[in-house]
Amino acid sequence: MSSATRRLLPFFLSIFALASCEDPTEIGIELQDENLIGTTYTEYEVKTGTVLLSDSIPALRSVPALLGKFNDPVLGSSAATTFTEVGLNAATALKFGDNPVATSLELTLDYSNIYGDKSKPLTINLYQLKEGFDEKTSYFKNSSLPYEKLLGSATIIPELVKKKGTVNDSTIAKTFVKIQLSQEFTQSLISKSGTGDLASQQAFNTFLKGLAIVPANDAASMLALKLTADSTKMVLRYMDGTTPKKHTFLLGSQRYFSNITTNRTGTAVAALTNNRDFVSSESTGDLSYVQTNTQLLSKLNFPELEKLKEKLGDIIINRAELILPVQNGSDATFTPVPQFVLYQTNNTNRIIRNAAGTALTVQQDVAYALNGTTSPATLQYNSEKKQYSLNMTSYIQAILLGTKPNMGLLLAPARVQQEQGGGLSISPEPLPYRTILSNPATGTTKAKLLIYYSKIEK
C-alpha cells in the first residue's frame, strides 16, 4: 500500500461508514471540540428570504390567548380577538334565590405581557356570540365566529409591576381589564335563575353561546391574557332579599381561541399574499423576516454547497456552524423570537414530512439523531451578540454526501418541550414576537455558514 493511499484511507473509511449508517456525526466527531485544533475554516454563503406559509395554526385553548392590536412600522398591523365560552361553575342547577335582584355583572381580564405601545389607552369591546362553538370544527389562528350585541366596553392603560416577594423579574398586571356588562343582559341572566338554561353547561352554552372580546380599531397594544387564572372571571353580584351575594363564572375552563389578522399594505413583504410565496432578502433591503402567529418565516438556502469538496479537495468536516445576525436596533421595540427550529423544505417552500406525516427538522448534532424526529435542534437568541447560531455539522455533512437534499430550510418560531416518553415535541410560539435578520452582501452582519475542516494531504 502506498503512503498516499494510507493517508487517504481514513477519509474513505469514514465516508463509507457514514453512507452505511446514515449518521454523519461519526466523521471527525473527536475533533468537534471548542478549539478545533489543527483545522481551518471557510465562510460559506447563505441566501435568505421571506416566505408566507399560510398553513393553519391550531388555536383552540392555545395559551396565552391574545387580545389587542399594534402597529409594527416594519411589518404592518396585527390584531387579536379572543372568542370564549363561559363556564357555569356550578355542580347542580344554578339558582340565585327566591327573588334575586341583580346589582352588577362584571368581566375581569388578567394578563401577563404587553406588546406594542404601552403608553396609549387600550379600549376593549365585549360582544355576545351569534353562533356558538361546534364540536366538529377545528379552530385555527385564522378562524372566527360571528358576534352581535355589544355588551360593554372598557379602556385602560395596560401596565405590569413587579410581583411582591419575588427576587426575579416576575411581574403581574397592575390594572385589570374590567368591563361592566349591560343592564339588559344582566337582567336577562338573573331571570334564568332556577330554569333549565342554568341547569348544565350544555344548556348554558345554548343561552349564552359565548363572548367575543374585541380590540378597538385605534388600539396600540396587545395583551397576553391569563384566561385560566382565578383572576379572570365574570362575577354576577345580586341581592337575595336583604343579603348581598355573588356568583363567579369562569372563562378558561371552557373552549376558547384567538383570531389573528394582519395588514401588511405598504411593507417590504406586502407582495406575500398566497401560500408559500417567497421574496428574496436582496429585494427587501438585505433583510428577511419572521413573525409569530402569522406564518411569516425566513428561508435559508446554501447554493451549490455540494461543490465544496470540489473547491477544497479531500477534507474532513469537523464543524459547520450557522450564524444568523439580527438587524441592528430591530430588537429595541419588538422582542425577537426567543427560539427557532429549522424545518426541511423543498423548492416550492413546502415543509417536508416523513411517511407518518411528521414535519422534518434539523436535529441536534448528536449521534444517531440525524434522521430522527425526536431531537429537534433549536436556535436561541443571543441578546449580547445579536444573533442566532447552530452547530449543524451532521446535517451539512449529509448534504455533501447526498443523503439529505439541499433545497433550503425554513426558520420557524417554536416552543420545544420534553415529552414523557423521552423525546422532544414542537409547538408553535404563541406570543407576538418578530425577528429581522440581516444579510448584506458583505460585512460583519452577513449571514454565514462557518465550515471548519481538516485537509487530507496526498
User: pLDDT band at 9, cuts 50/70/90?
Assistant: very low
Cα gap 449→301, rounded to integer Å: 11
Q: Residue 37 has what pLDDT?
A: 52
User: pLDDT band at 8, cuts 50/70/90?
Assistant: very low
The burial class, CB within 10 Å (0-12 / 13-18 / 19+), for 445 is: middle
**Higher confidence at residue 257 or residue 163?**
257
Give backbone dihedrals phi and psi of 384, rounded to 5 degrees, phi first.
-80, -45
The burial class, CB within 10 Å (0-12 / 13-18 / 19+), for 228 is: middle
Position 31 pLDDT exceeds 80: no
Position 265 pLDDT exceeds 90: yes
Over residues 162-182, the pLDDT tens digits come to 887 666 668 999 999 999 999
User: pLDDT band at 307, cuts 50/70/90?
Assistant: confident
Q: Residue 317 has what pLDDT?
A: 86
Considering the entire predicted model, what is its pTM? 0.87
Q: Residue 381 has what pLDDT?
A: 97
Position 344 pLDDT exceeds 60: yes
**Higher confidence at residue 375 or residue 316?**
375
Q: Residue 166 has what pLDDT?
A: 64
Mean pLDDT of 185-197: 96
Q: Residue 109 has what pLDDT?
A: 98
Q: Which three cell numbers, joined as nine digits, stand for 308?
A: 465544496
Q: Residue 23 has what pLDDT?
A: 43
Helix (H), strand (E) at residue 48: strand 47-52
**Higher confidence at residue 317 or residue 359?**
359
Residue whose cell numbers read 415535541: 425
Q: Residue 72 has what pLDDT?
A: 94
Position 47 pLDDT exceeds 60: yes
Position 30 pLDDT exceeds 60: no
- Cα angle 20, 23, 28 (rounded to 5 degrees) comes to 105
Cα gap 358→173, rounded to integer Å: 39
Over residues 391-440, the pLDDT tens digits come to 999 999 999 888 999 999 999 999 999 988 788 999 999 999 999 999 99
User: pLDDT band at 458, cuts 50/70/90?
Assistant: low
Mean pLDDT of 207-216: 98
Percentage of the chain beyond pLDDT 70 is 90
User: pLDDT band at 3, cuts 50/70/90?
Assistant: very low
Mean pLDDT of 274-299: 96
User: pLDDT band at 11, cuts 50/70/90?
Assistant: very low
Q: Residue 120 has what pLDDT?
A: 95
Please give the distance of CA 39 from its chain centroid, rounded to a whole number: 38
Q: Which three cell numbers, joined as nine digits, stand for 115?
A: 406588546
What are the structural domain ranges in the chain?
20-54+275-455, 65-262
Kindly report the average pLDDT of the chain as a whole number: 90
Q: Residue 10 has what pLDDT?
A: 41
CA distances from 1 to 13, 14, 49 (A): 15, 18, 50
Q: Which residues pair with 411 in a beta bridge?
A: 298, 342
Position 222 pLDDT exceeds 80: yes
Q: Residue 184 has what pLDDT?
A: 97
Mean pLDDT of 91-109: 95
Q: Residue 457 has what pLDDT?
A: 72
